Structure 1
Amino acid sequence: MKVTTTPAQELALSNCAYCSAAEIAKFLLPGRDYGWALIGSNMVLNVKAHESIQEGQIALNAIQRRNAKVSSGDEISVAKFLAPDKGFKLVVVNLELEFVKAKGKSEQLDAQTLGQELQRRFVSQVFTVGQKATFEYCGINYVFNVSHTLVEGQKENDTNVIRGMLCPETAFLFETNPGSGIKIVNQRGGTTSNIFKQKDLNFQKLGIGGLDLQFQDIFRRAFASRVFPPHVVSRLGISHVKGLLLFGPPGTGKTLIARQIGKMLNGREPKVVNGPEVLSKFVGETEKNIRDLFSDAENDQRMHGDHSELHIIIFDELDAICKARGTTRDSTGVHDGIVNQLLTKIDGVDSLNNILLIGMTNRKDLLDEALLRPGRLEVQIEIGLPDEKGRLQILRIHSTQMKENSFLASDVNLEELAARTKNFSGAELEGLVKSAVSFGLNRQVNVEDLSQSIDEENIKVTMNDFLQALHEVKPAFGAAINTLEMYRTNGMLNCGDRHRHIRETAMTLVEQVKSSERTSLLTFLLEGPSGSGKTALASTVAIDSDFPYMKIVTSENMVGLTEATKCGLITKVFEDAYKSPLSIIILDEIERLLEYVNIGPRFSNVILQTLFVLIKKLPPKGKKLMVIGTSSMVHVLQSMDLVGAFNVTLNAPNLEPNDVKKVLQEIRVFAPQDIDTAVRALDQEIPIKRLLMLVEMAAQGKGGEGAADVYAGKKKIDINHFFECLHDLA
């Protein structure tokens, strides 16, 4: 139908559409003189007949045309609207009010009287979320926007119902912007505070992914009380939360959350302070800088009391200036003064109720304890590494524009990438996307002639680009699979039933950690003779577990370090593990970590006590940890009572003749008739490491060449040369 203007001003305020008398029958409801029509793709209006409207025309007022994004004279689709059989009556509708024309003065509206008037005027009309309508009240023209609807029978978490019919029982909740000049009084229920700019807190629209639960906690603890009117809060006898601490690993989104909280809120722009910026070399100047941050809030509260706007102060790198008092080595006492000044402003005698201090740190342990007590930075939210669902949200956020502009290839599987990026932080996922884009762009650049024009239309970021980026971008708290692979360069060979039983038992323990709600910490010790394959077996168990966090602690990375430094490195591995939901730590050759020797100072007691504490320490709630220890000198650990710190002890034995035969059959370097001869020539038991070394020597041949042909299957080891190598190793 062709759009035309509403015939009269009073009809424009009715929120109805008008058509010709000849066409009204297409839309009529049974027993009514009006009908319902779906105008365009989303707006449902009451349609009435008017003699001045010609056939094929539909009359819409200015607001309706704006909603439908059409002008007078445009064509628009119009269809009869059929309401569902049930669940269509509006129970509650939220309306955002403003003047049609901006006014210099303010108006006070009684919510109950205004609601009765709107019911009388718009009863039996259908309203859709996002729809705007105009009305006249007491000589002033207003416009309202439908921000939320609740229909009869709608479940609380059902967000798909976006429209319903206004009926005499519908309740209204009115909302206004702080600067609109409209004040609502006598409103029952709902929220009257306009602290948030958006009415729906869609975090993905804000560019935040994987932090839904954390945002829910932040809203409940820090903002829920501020949504309600001041008189409700005063009747509850509580004060608002004044401090919020965000802590966690670097790159997880702490600064992003604080920045977006400031964007979400109406009123004053948040003050953002990097910790070191407030420091000054002049006596008393640092404390004055702190006082200046709170001066606007103090003046505002003095003038407006409980109706004061919320003032947000964001402290990045809070640990730089709020270290525990008495721990800094300088003689100025500046850091102690900063802590004292902050405590006074947040929770002193003349404490403010219109501030929210948001602090961020990677090192919560460095902060002064007084700052973390109730009334100060009492809400402490850990911003950890995102789970798979969160990683998918983050990847979608960073690839949305590419997809909308057709730069993202159809083979890119974000779900697969989310599964393969365990322990990636939000910043690292962003880096992954940037790296993938760089591969895609690089294909369009001719390095030999940079002056050549670039074909923008053919730029595509493919799945292969992301897979290449995975080799380039590594998570700081990721699984050290490449390191673990170094400890099993020959893979895991079939070493007989005894070794297979050990491996199956270890994997059963892994499954227990994964699935049992009661097992948050499980430790086992893998002991046996030197060279029996303990480290390779432990590495295999870790890799097969597919845990997000895997690290091996070995003495070879600690050569020349002091006891204190070694303890710090071991402790850091455990602290990093606590940041991941599932973690495995391998303590390789524990006696070497303890610096054990047969003579002189026997071992490091400092490292021993550190291991005692860490092996037995339960991980934080919601985290699970498995610790695998290896040792070739279990009697030494028994004398130190360290064996008792492990839940399970497994023995990795040397190979017996039957085991040796299975190994030689699997590696296929001997002629079948020579395998039994080689087994008989060996000792009754031999470590797997020694056996593989002997085979490697024999494979070289007398001339020192030929190993490649042996392992390629082109020739076999000469049994006589094998005997010579065995004699040399004896």
Structure 2
Amino acid sequence: MRVVSTPLQELALTNCAYCSPSDMSRYRRPKYEDAMALVNGILVLTLRYPFTTLLASFVQPTGSLALNAYQRRNVKVSVGDPISVESFDPLSVSRMTVVSVELDTLMKNKKSSDQVDARNLSKELTKRFKGQVFSVGQKAPFEYLGTNYSFHVISMLLDGQLENAGSTQGLLAPDTHFQFETAGNSGFKISNQLGGQSTNIFKGKDLNFQKLGIGGLDAEFQDIFRRAFASRVFPPHIIAKLGIPHVKGLLLFGPPGTGKTLIARQIGKMLNGREPKVVNGPEVLSKFVGETEKNVRDLFADAENDQKTRGDQSDLHIIIFDEIDAICKTRGSTRDGTGVHDSIVNQLLTKIDGVEALNNILLIGMTNRKDLLDEALLRPGRMEVQIEIGLPDEKGRFQILSIHSNKMKENSFLSADVDLKELASKTKNFSGAELEGLVKSATSFALNRQVSAADLSKEIVEDNIKVTMDDFKSALDEVKPAFGAAINTLEMCRLNGMLNCGERHAHIQRTVMTFVEQVRKSERTPLLTCLLEGPGGSGKTALAATIGIESGFPFIKIVSAENMIGLQESTKCGMITKVFEDAYKSPLSIIILDDIERLLEFVDIGPRFSNVILQTILVLLKRSPPKGRKLLVIGTSSLVRVLESMSLLDAFNVHLNVPQLKPADMKQVLKELNVFNPADIDNAVTALDEEIPIKRLLMLIEMAAQGGDEGANVYKGDHKIELAHFFEIVGDHIVFRN
């Protein structure tokens, strides 16, 4: 047959080829009668693409086949060219379940309406093209609401199997579902589209975090899923009816090593579709003018093109910013003279929540310093979901230890005596990274037993490798948490241990321990402050350290002036504030403010003190911890009159006086130390003052012990202090000061 143009414009928009009745009769064969009836009398002819062919008596002369411009372009022929035609059985073609098409306007200078309703358009296309056969790659024109469009078949789902090869053909049925995309320069968007990939953004039917290597973060993951992904599981038209846009930003913050980067990395593995873009904050920076801003724009380029092309059906584009505080500092805080950091924040805000805001992105930022970020970045509509990834609790630590020891357990390298629950209880305030380091350290002890430094060529027997509980205990001595209880520092505050100094001291210790239990158990006491005041050397710091050690709280820190020698006021305030901020990250915390007058830099001459530090301590003592966090603050002071004059005394809920030792208390201490013969204790006490601080008494005993026989160790009971020598030390001209 010879190709001619379609005689009428309305016929050109039907996707049909036309021929004369005499030509059509040549193809009427008995075996096609039933097929023709099933497709409403339409007979399909095979060219490069199968076109439905209708009778058209006005097509002259005989032997001509009328094709529109798109059809001629599809089969690569021109008007007047010869073309071979043969019969085609439509019943041999599978029905299309889903067909994905790309829409575009025929008149590029004429823009259609801003949005095209997908459901109405699907009904119209089904009505017009029902019963026709289409191929992947085929293009066809049509008219809709006064505008001429074209659609390009991208892919189709035939009987449950996706096909996108050029030879694939499918029959458009009444129940065929359309998935629409738009061409890049089409100028309109698809709305109200049903189904799509947004309903299947996750791999698998359930999310098993432990299989992903994530432990102790179940609650945090539930929050992340609820805020950032739950809305994306529903079809776009339901979310459009709700009128709520998707969350576009997610900030993960918390101490180092708690799993922020791991979460972001595994989120990418959980999702179908596009790989997340991972960007380290400093990588965005460039020394060239404007290049940094361009780097930020390039991160969003794919998402912009996808949204323009596919509208609501666009894939989710995830951009992960590690160390986001490096580039999104508070505007105006940097003084480098370039203004680059401010420009980065401005560019990022424009892309997330600007005039042409994207709805197909999720920006995940991670930082240890949330306080450094620009506040405009954290408001709703931007990085509105802020999840604190804190230190794992005991259940979380057990999960993490199980994950990291799972391989050695499967391969019989883990000894049966290893109790992970016991290890979880002993690793308070360990981060996830530190727990992984603990397992590595324990493994190194086990491997070291199989290696001889004298003979490295010795054959290693695999069956002899066992990681035991003793290996983990050795690892606990080697791996210490960077965040949490400073037990070693507290032990240094009571070198002589906690002596029995009589009933008065014991009563004070019991009282403070009741405060510990109150903070631990009471839901109405998130913050409790207690001041231990008394003469210098009366044992206040040792008592506070003992309370901290015996409390078992995961976070215990002591704030002492000895760690701030030579520092400026602002630096000292920052150090004190950081201790409190760290305490807020732990469920139970104790902070010891030791020798408060020294922290305040108080001296009698002047008088002089630091008002900046004073105001900082006043604010921190009255600031309640976040929800779910509890804090006990213990202060010590030898100058309570000074604290009262500064209005600092009223900031503490409870004041307890730690007294000096009276004779009965001195006897108790000497009996416990066992450095005198029992008959000499009463005489030794008579040589002392009526009241004496415990610190001075211990110093006198130590001096008397060292002045005796050389090499004698009175504390082991080998020798006793001679009473005469003790009297000499006490009555000597040495003046003791605390």
TM-score (ref. length: structure 2): 0.73
Residue number among 500, 524, 535 corresponding to 1:529 in the alignment = 535
Return the alpha-carbon distance in structure 2 between the equivalents of residues 660 and 241 of structure 1.
68
Instruction: Please say if residues 701 and 717 of structure 1, whose CA atoms lie closer than 8 Å, have aligned partners that are also in contact.
Output: no
Alignment-derived partner of residue 142 in structure 2: none
Alignment-derived partner of residue 665 in structure 1: 671
Q: Which residue identity does 1:592 align to in structure 2?
A: R
Would you say 1:712 and 2:716 are equivalent positions? yes
Alignment-derived partner of residue 721 in structure 1: 725
Q: Which residue identity does 2:425 align to in structure 1?
A: A
Return the alpha-carbon distance in structure 2 between the equivalents of residues 333 and 140 of structure 1.
58
**Residues 125-156 of structure 1: per-residue CA shift (max 9 Å, x gap):** xxxxxxxxxxxxx995889xxxxxxxxxxxxx
Q: Which residue identity does 2:687 align to in structure 1?
A: A
Residue number among 454, 460, 474 corresponding to 1:454 in the alignment = 460
Alignment-derived partner of residue 97 in structure 1: none
Gaps of 5+ in 2: 1-92, 100-156, 163-178, 181-191
Q: Residue 439 and residue 677 in structure 1: after superposition, are their counterparts in 2 closer, same or farther (change >3 A)?
A: same
Return the alpha-carbon distance in structure 2 between the equivalents of residues 105 and 493 of structure 1.
89
Would you say 1:358 and 2:364 are equivalent positions? yes
**Residues 40-82 of structure 1: per-residue CA shift (max 9 Å, x gap):** xxxxxxxxxxxxxxxxxxxxxxxxxxxxxxxxxxxxxxxxxxx
Aligned residue pairs: how many?
A: 558
Instruction: Please say if residues 191 and 227 of structure 1, whose CA atoms lie closer than 8 Å, have aligned partners that are also in contact.
Output: no
Alignment-derived partner of residue 322 in structure 1: 328
Would you say 1:205 and 2:236 are equivalent positions? no
Query: Secondary structure at 2:268's aligned position in 1?
Result: helix
Give the alignment of 1:615-694 within 5 angstroms.
615-694=621-700
Query: Secondary structure at 2:416's aligned position in 1?
Result: coil
**Residues 673-703 of structure 1: per-residue CA shift (max 9 Å, x gap):** 1111111221111111111111122223444
Instruction: Please say if residues 194 and 236 of structure 2, whose CA atoms lie closer than 8 Å, have aligned partners that are also in contact.
Output: no
Instruction: Please say if residues 251 and 364 of structure 2, whose CA atoms lie closer than 8 Å, have aligned partners that are also in contact.
Output: yes
Return the alpha-carbon distance in structure 1 between the equivalents of residues 557 and 304 of structure 2.
51
Alignment-derived partner of residue 406 in structure 1: 412
Would you say 1:396 and 2:402 are equivalent positions? yes
Alignment-derived partner of residue 489 in structure 2: 483
Return the alpha-carbon distance in structure 1 between the equivalents of residues 696 and 536 of structure 2.
10
Query: Secondary structure at 2:337's aligned position in 1?
Result: coil
Alignment-derived partner of residue 286 in structure 2: 280
Alignment-derived partner of residue 235 in structure 2: 229
Q: Which residue identity does 2:719 align to in structure 1?
A: K
Return the alpha-carbon distance in structure 2 between the equivalents of residues 427 and 597 of structure 1.
45
Residue number among 473, 477, 480 corresponding to 1:471 in the alignment = 477
Give, in angstroms, the shift of residue 482 of structure 1: 0.9
Query: Secondary structure at 2:493's aligned position in 1?
Result: helix
Return the alpha-carbon distance in structure 2 between the equivalents of residues 364 and 139 of structure 1.
51
Alignment-derived partner of residue 588 in structure 1: 594
Alignment-derived partner of residue 423 in structure 2: 417
Give, in angstroms, the shift of residue 600 of structure 1: 3.4
**Residues 200-257 of structure 1: per-residue CA shift (max 9 Å, x gap):** 1110000000000000000000000000111111111111111111111111111110
Instruction: Please say if residues 198 and 313 of structure 2, whose CA atoms lie closer than 8 Å, have aligned partners that are also in contact.
Output: no
Q: Residue 191 and residue 346 in structure 1: after superposition, are their counterparts in 2 closer, same or farther (change >3 A)?
A: closer
Return the alpha-carbon distance in structure 2 between the equivalents of residues 692 and 607 of structure 1.
33
Alignment-derived partner of residue 292 in structure 1: 298
Q: Which residue identity does 1:440 align to in structure 2?
A: A
Instruction: Please say if residues 654 and 688 of structure 1, whose CA atoms lie closer than 8 Å, have aligned partners that are also in contact.
Output: yes
Q: Which residue identity does 1:549 align to in structure 2?
A: F
Alignment-derived partner of residue 261 in structure 2: 255
Instruction: Please say if residues 94 and 159 of structure 2, whose CA atoms lie closer than 8 Å, have aligned partners that are also in contact.
Output: no
Return the alpha-carbon distance in structure 2 between the equivalents of residues 351 and 189 of structure 1.
23
Q: Residue 141 and residue 681 in structure 1: after superposition, are their counterparts in 2 closer, same or farther (change >3 A)?
A: closer
Would you say 1:386 and 2:376 are equivalent positions? no
Return the alpha-carbon distance in structure 2 between the equivalents of residues 336 and 450 of structure 1.
58
673-682 vs 259-268, which deviates more?
673-682
Q: Which residue identity does 1:108 align to in structure 2?
A: V
Give, in angstroms, the shift of residue 198 of structure 1: 2.1
Q: Percent identity between the aligned chains?
A: 75
Would you say 1:303 and 2:309 are equivalent positions? yes
Alignment-derived partner of residue 29 in structure 2: none
Give, in angstroms, the shift of residue 705 of structure 1: 3.7
Q: Which residue identity does 1:715 align to in structure 2?
A: H
470-479 vs 254-263, which deviates more?
470-479
Would you say 1:696 and 2:699 are equivalent positions? no
**Residues 470-524 of structure 1: per-residue CA shift (max 9 Å, x gap):** 1111111120111101111211111111111101110011111001101011001
485-494 vs 201-210, which deviates more?
485-494
Q: Residue 237 and residue 462 in structure 1: after superposition, are their counterparts in 2 closer, same or farther (change >3 A)?
A: same
Give, in angstroms, the shift of residue 562 of structure 1: 1.7
Return the alpha-carbon distance in structure 2 between the equivalents of residues 639 and 482 of structure 1.
35
Q: Which residue identity does 1:694 align to in structure 2?
A: L
Alignment-derived partner of residue 218 in structure 1: 224
Alignment-derived partner of residue 53 in structure 2: none
Q: Which residue identity does 2:408 align to in structure 1?
A: M
Please identify the structure whose Cα radius of gyration is greater. Answer: 2
Q: Residue 141 and residue 722 in structure 1: after superposition, are their counterparts in 2 closer, same or farther (change >3 A)?
A: closer
Query: Secondary structure at 1:602's aligned position in 2?
Result: coil
Would you say 1:108 and 2:98 are equivalent positions? yes
Residue number among 538, 548, 552 corresponding to 2:544 in the alignment = 538
Q: Which residue identity does 2:313 align to in structure 1?
A: H
Q: Residue 141 and residue 426 in structure 1: after superposition, are their counterparts in 2 closer, same or farther (change >3 A)?
A: closer
**Residues 98-119 of structure 1: per-residue CA shift (max 9 Å, x gap):** xxxxx9996339xxxxxxxxxx
Return the alpha-carbon distance in structure 2 between the equivalents of residues 717 and 343 of structure 1.
76
Return the alpha-carbon distance in structure 2 between the equivalents of residues 697 and 630 of structure 1.
27
Instruction: Please say if residues 191 and 228 of structure 1, whose CA atoms lie closer than 8 Å, have aligned partners that are also in contact.
Output: no
Would you say 1:555 and 2:545 are equivalent positions? no
Give, in angstroms, the shift of residue 331 of structure 1: 1.7
Would you say 1:371 and 2:370 are equivalent positions? no
Q: Residue 189 and residue 300 in structure 1: after superposition, are their counterparts in 2 closer, same or farther (change >3 A)?
A: closer
What's the Cα RMSD here?
Answer: 2.4
Return the alpha-carbon distance in structure 2 between the equivalents of residues 399 and 592 of structure 1.
48
Alignment-derived partner of residue 184 in structure 2: none
Q: Residue 105 and residue 476 in structure 1: after superposition, are their counterparts in 2 closer, same or farther (change >3 A)?
A: farther
Q: Residue 190 and residue 542 in structure 1: after superposition, are their counterparts in 2 closer, same or farther (change >3 A)?
A: farther
Q: Residue 106 and residue 210 in structure 1: after superposition, are their counterparts in 2 closer, same or farther (change >3 A)?
A: farther
Q: Residue 141 and residue 606 in structure 1: after superposition, are their counterparts in 2 closer, same or farther (change >3 A)?
A: closer
Return the alpha-carbon distance in structure 2 between the equivalents of residues 139 and 265 of structure 1.
25
Query: Secondary structure at 1:561's aligned position in 2?
Result: coil
Return the alpha-carbon distance in structure 1 between the equivalents of residues 698 and 240 of structure 2.
78
Query: Secondary structure at 1:249's aligned position in 2?
Result: coil
Give the alignment of 1:555-574 within 5 angstroms.
555-574=561-580
Return the alpha-carbon distance in structure 1 between the equivalents of residues 271 and 196 of structure 2.
18
Return the alpha-carbon distance in structure 1 between the equivalents of residues 385 and 160 of structure 2.
44
Instruction: Please say if residues 243 and 357 of structure 1, whose CA atoms lie closer than 8 Å, have aligned partners that are also in contact.
Output: yes
Instruction: Please say if residues 243 and 376 of structure 1, whose CA atoms lie closer than 8 Å, have aligned partners that are also in contact.
Output: yes
Q: Which residue identity does 2:727 align to in structure 1?
A: F
